[in-house]
Amino acid sequence: MSDIQSLLKDYLDYLEIEKNRSPKTRENYEHYLKEFLASTKIKSPSDITDDAVRNFRIGLARKNLKKITQNYYVIAIRNFLKYLSKRDIKTLAAEKIELPKTPSRQILIIEYGDLERLLSAPSGSDLRSIRDKAILETFFSTGLRISELCSLSRYIDLERGEITVRGKGDKLRVVFLSDRAKKAIKNYLDKRPDADEAMFVSLTKGSSVKSHESKVIGRITPRTVQRLVNFYRRKAGIADHVTPHQLRHQFATDLLLNGADLRSVQSLLGHSNISTTQVYTHLTNKELREIHKSFHGRRRKS
């Protein structure tokens, strides 16, 4: 193992053990950094130069990668250099690498009427339909990430309607179930014939198995959830694209439109930095709407 490869392994271990980053974060950083080291033929920390990084970034840009994706590579390189500096290993200073400017993130949401049709789309009484109803109501009630929803346990206190969730960075937070979500989950769990610990489970399907006879085959996967959200989006006649993460956006926007403060929404979403939550404010600024209504075009005749 070369000098740089050994240091890379040390850094990835440091991320996972000392910084308590998730295995997925480690996997992503390993991908970004291995591609950087391989394409620039770097063998030691002293080989990491301004020119090497610049040429690598030019290569990324010519691949027509999205700016945000290019950013991920640059962030990984900068953080690796900071780690090397922390260990007093001579290499390029991280501060010499500037992050590219990216367009402001835009949040897309669907109209409230479309949202209600989506939530009402699972209308059957079979296990699959009531499971899907419970999933959609839980998304909108809690603002959970798809990975958080898939990892839920069925053993919760439905009366209290509170769930402790372990989110990004292994951080715990409490989310709350609306009356509709509690009712949907209770109907679903009452019909479950199994003892699987998972709250939401995958079910058998196919022409040989009738929907009301579906059998539990383990914890539900993110891909299954993505498919069912898209299925009910089409069933509800919604032309716009809808994803599980968009239901998280709907949750946050609904809270802000109804008067919740930004700090509270930050806590409910599990955002480490309030700047992440601030992307929703352009959708919910009632004050600007009232100013426009009061002052725009007052000299024009109706």
Do 83 and 133 fall within a single domain?
no
Q: Which of 54, 87, 166, 245 is labelled catalytic?
A: 245
CATH number at residue 74: 1.10.150.130
> Both 117 and 189 in a single domain?
yes
State the residue range of the domain holding 207. 112-287
**Res. 299 pLDDT band, cuts 50 70 90:** low
Comparing 11-15, 37-41, 275-279, which segment has the lowest mean pLDDT? Answer: 275-279
Check residue 206 and give left, alpha or beta (phi > 0: left; psi -120 to 50: alpha). left
Mind giving me the DSSP string for 58-83?
A: HHHHHTT--HHHHHHHHHHHHHHHHH
Q: Indicate whether 239 belongs to any domain.
A: yes
pLDDT class for 74, splitting at 50, 70, 90?
A: very high
Cα distances from 153 to residues 148, 198, 299, in angstroms, run 10, 5, 60
- The reply to whether 72 falls in a domain is yes
Is residue 240 predicted with pLDDT exceeding 90? Answer: no
**DSSP H or E segment with residue 110:** none
Q: Which amino acid would we find at residue 222?
A: P
pLDDT value for 241: 87
Amino acid letter for position 130: I
For the chain, percent of residues with pLDDT exceeding 90: 65
Q: Is 212 a catalytic residue?
A: no
Is residue 145 annotated as a catalytic residue, yes or no?
A: yes
In the residue annotation, 248 being an active-site residue is answered as yes
Same domain for 191 and 161: yes
pLDDT of residue 143: 94
What integer is the mean pLDDT of 256-282? 86
Distance CA 282, CA 290 (A): 14
Mean pLDDT value of segment 236-240? 92
Domain C-terminal end among 63, 96, 129: 96
- Dist CA 259 CA 204 (whole Å): 43
pLDDT digits (tens, 9 = 90+) for 189-214: 999 989 999 999 999 875 444 445 67
Residue 207 domain flag: yes
For 177-197, the DSSP string reads --HHHHHHHHHHHHH--S--S
